[in-house]
Amino acid sequence: MIVFDQVTVRFGTGVEGLKDISLAIGAEEFAIIEGPSGAGKTSFMRLLIKDLLPSHGKIVVDGDDLSKIAPKNIPLLRRKVGVVFQDFKILFDRTVGENIDLTLEILGLDGSIISKRRSELLELTGLSGKDDLFPVQLSGGELQRVSVARALAPAPKVLFADEPTGNLDAKTGRSIVSLLEDIHSQGTTVIMATHDLELIKDKKFRRLRLDQGKLVHDSAVAHHPKVKHD
């Protein structure tokens, strides 16, 4: 599903956010990207949605070489890769239902299809009956569930959760991880970036560790095909 081939990100300051990263993440896999703040986790996510361009190397998502995707087609890429943010990034002047509907409206879907999809997502994320509430009426965990539902609205093949438990207490954080596991069980490739190792210590996810932009550990490297270079 995802291939990074010798990917380096060098910012204008000369600092390298990622350094010569090569890895492959398979379809329907659940992978954890761990590491301290500044390790390169968010840069990895931004590369996946072409919000950031590599200074060197090749990135392939679902068979598409991102370097060959024209700017006008980036929205099509972002339908394939849904993103959940630590700070939610939902619209506080819209209800839960309206936040979910917006993505579907942008896709130009029929009203009846939007209504059906919204109901499915509300049920999946444990928010049934809350579609008419505004964000200020929700807890932090519920806000994150709205963020997850919105990211899933276009049925992406990949869901990237960027520190989705960072603003939550331990119990609520575990419930969000369980929700991501449920989503994964339905066939979505899930990647979760986190620095909270206590939250995932008993999970058998694939573990990728970044440190100062370098991939220093991959728990499943022996079980994944090596990246082929041209």
64 vs 2: CA distance, rounded Å: 9
Delineate the domains of the chain, giving CATH numbers in brackets: 32-53+79-223 (3.40.50.300)
pTM of the model: 0.91
**Helix, strand, coil percent values for the chain (each to nearest 5):** 35, 25, 35
Question: C-alpha dihedral over 183, 86, 224, 80, to 10 degrees?
Answer: 60
What string of pLDDT tens digits covers the 230 residues of the chain? 999 999 999 998 888 999 999 999 999 899 999 998 889 999 999 999 999 999 999 999 999 999 999 999 999 999 999 999 888 899 999 999 999 999 899 989 999 999 999 999 999 999 999 999 999 999 999 999 999 999 999 999 999 999 999 889 999 999 999 999 999 999 999 999 998 888 888 888 999 999 999 999 999 775 444 444 44
32 vs 165: CA distance, rounded Å: 13
